[in-house]
Homo-oligomer: A and B are copies of this chain.
């Protein structure tokens, strides 16, 4: 924290995650309890009375569940009342921003121990209603009135990117394949299958039913075929899009000096930045997200680090193009090089710059308000060598999370360090 202005340091001393997926029998309360119990299970001893405040990232239980004012409801539900409970909303960046607010509240001196969570229960609505609710994260006056919903926005970004850098569509497929490969090793992921296994089971099913058997040679072949992978909004196909998900994630934050009272494996906030932007029509180009670059610049500056110092990152791959742009916005690759890096496997789990070892939003799932803290959960596990079969190689010390809201109206970047 070479250039931190924070009055004191903040550590993450534990994390918890619900299973991500579609759960007709679970609401936000159930999902939150599942994540909270997962957190508590990581401690030998745990006294909830030490928790002094609760921050919740949630996009719109207002629309998804007809329940606003969710923060005190959830904190009361797990017995934490009367501690202050604050909901933070910045669309799909809600819990990344909540995480930053929770950290600032400790840096202020007001609290020593803060619980921060994120939750979204999206699958109760019909898919058209989900798309409509998600569209309210964009600018309803200047973006949505142009006829776009989110797949369209990111398709437009993908088109701009391809045009500007002569990028090949295959790069998007490589992102999808990689993230499914990682997610297949994550027991909490919504999609536990690799693209290869999805392809093979489709071939098998066709054979069983006596239908013409598709002659896909490999995953790229499969993803390039609209029969295997239907188009959503050109050039974004089904396997370029993250799913609609239910899920919750939590983390326990404490002031740096008391971290060792809670765990032997803390990780520390060493950088944090947030930025905002107007609607897409105001931007010079659609091939980048300026708020991401600005948030990252602040986070790097606070940490005294450069992109090359980041051992691994969880980035906001709501669509495959978003991951490629993120790897450039974050400075991992030069502008226009991200798509080639994806094809070359540089962002693979054991590539030179691992990205989304968790499976990312694409495969792990994207319960929007839970995503930011879900990213932290992966960084915590990887830095502490707790990621099991998907553990990335090497001495991992620095991890980064990149969480985007709307069409890039919000971005928050947090950087964490393992010191032990």
Give the interface of A toward B (CB within 8 A).
Answer: 5-8, 29, 54, 59-60, 62-63, 65-69, 71-73, 75-77, 81-91, 97, 101, 104-105, 107-110, 136-141, 274-279, 282, 290-291, 294, 405-406, 409-410, 412
Given contacts A7-B109, A109-B107, contact A279 B76 (CB under 8 A): yes
A-B contact pairs, 29 of them (CB 8 A): A6-B108, A7-B107, A54-B276, A63-B63, A63-B68, A67-B139, A68-B89, A68-B91, A68-B136, A68-B137, A69-B90, A71-B90, A72-B90, A75-B276, A76-B278, A81-B291, A82-B276, A82-B294, A84-B274, A84-B412, A85-B90, A86-B101, A86-B274, A87-B88, A88-B89, A104-B105, A104-B108, A107-B109, A107-B110
**Contact in complex: B410, A69 (CB < 8 Å):** yes
Which residue of chain B lies nearest to A84 when distances are taken between CB atoms in the complex? B274
Most interface-central of A73, A91, A275, A291 (chain B CB within 10 A): A73
Shortest C-beta distance, A158 to chain B (Å), equals 22
Question: A290 to B83, alpha carbons, bound, how many Å?
Answer: 12
Whole-angstrom distance from the CB of A277 to the nearest CB of chain B?
Answer: 5
| A277 to B, closest residue via Cβ | B81
Given contacts A85-B90, A86-B90, A88-B86, contact A72 B277 (CB under 8 A): yes
Q: Which of chain B's residues have a CB closer than 8 A to the CB of A7?
A: 7-8, 107-109
A104 to B87, CA, bound (A): 15
Residues of B within 8 A of A91 (CB): 68-69
Q: A406 to B91, alpha carbons, bound, how many Å?
A: 22
Cβ–Cβ < 8 Å partners of A406 in chain B: 69, 72
A-B pairs with lowest CB-CB distance, top 6: A76-B278, A84-B274, A7-B7, A72-B276, A107-B108, A72-B409
Q: Are A84 and B275 in contact (CB under 8 A)?
A: yes
Q: What residues on B are CB-neighbors of A90 within 8 Å?
A: 69, 71-72, 85-87
What's the Cα separation between A277 and B54 when bound, in Å?
A: 12
Closest Cβ of chain B: how far from A124's Cβ, in Å?
A: 13
* A86 contact set on B, CB distance < 8 A: 88, 90, 97, 101, 274
Residue of B nearest to A8 (CB): B7
Across the interface, name the chain B residue whose C-beta is closest to A291: B82
**Minimum C-beta distance from A198 to chain B (A):** 33
Apart from A62-B136, A69-B91, A87-B90, 16 more pairs, CB < 8 Å: A5-B110, A6-B110, A7-B7, A63-B63, A69-B137, A72-B90, A72-B410, A76-B276, A76-B279, A84-B275, A84-B276, A84-B412, A85-B276, A87-B88, A88-B88, A107-B109
CA distance A69 to B65 in the complex (A): 17
When the two chains form their complex, are residues B88 and A277 in contact, meaning their CB atoms are under 8 A apart? no
Most buried by B among A60, A69, A87, A89: A69
Q: Kindly state the separation between the CA atoms of A65 and B62 in the bound complex, as whole angstroms.
A: 12
Contact flag A71-B276 (CB < 8 Å), given A62-B62, A105-B104, A291-B82: yes
Q: Which residue of B lies closest to A135 (CB)?
A: B66
Most buried by B among A68, A91, A275, A406: A68
Q: Which of A87, A275, A291 has the most CB of B within 10 A?
A: A87
Cβ contact of A290, chosen from B82, B101, B108, cutoff 8 A = B82
Chain B residues contacting A89 (CB-CB under 8 Å) are 68-69, 71, 87-89
For residue A412, which residues in chain B have a CB less than 8 angstroms away from its CB? 84
Residue among A54, A71, A105, A138 with most chain B CB within 10 A: A71
Could you say which residues of chain B place their CB within 8 Å of the CB of A138?
69
A63–B67 alpha-carbon span in the complex (Å): 11
Residues of B with C-beta under 8 A to A69: 89-91, 136-138, 405-406, 409-410
Task: Return chain B residues, CB-CB under 8 Å to A276.
Answer: 54, 71-72, 75-76, 81-85
| C-alpha spacing A62/B67, complex, angstroms | 11
- CA gap between A72 and B136 in the complex, in Å: 13
Q: How far is the CA of A275 from the CA of B66 in the complex (A)?
A: 23
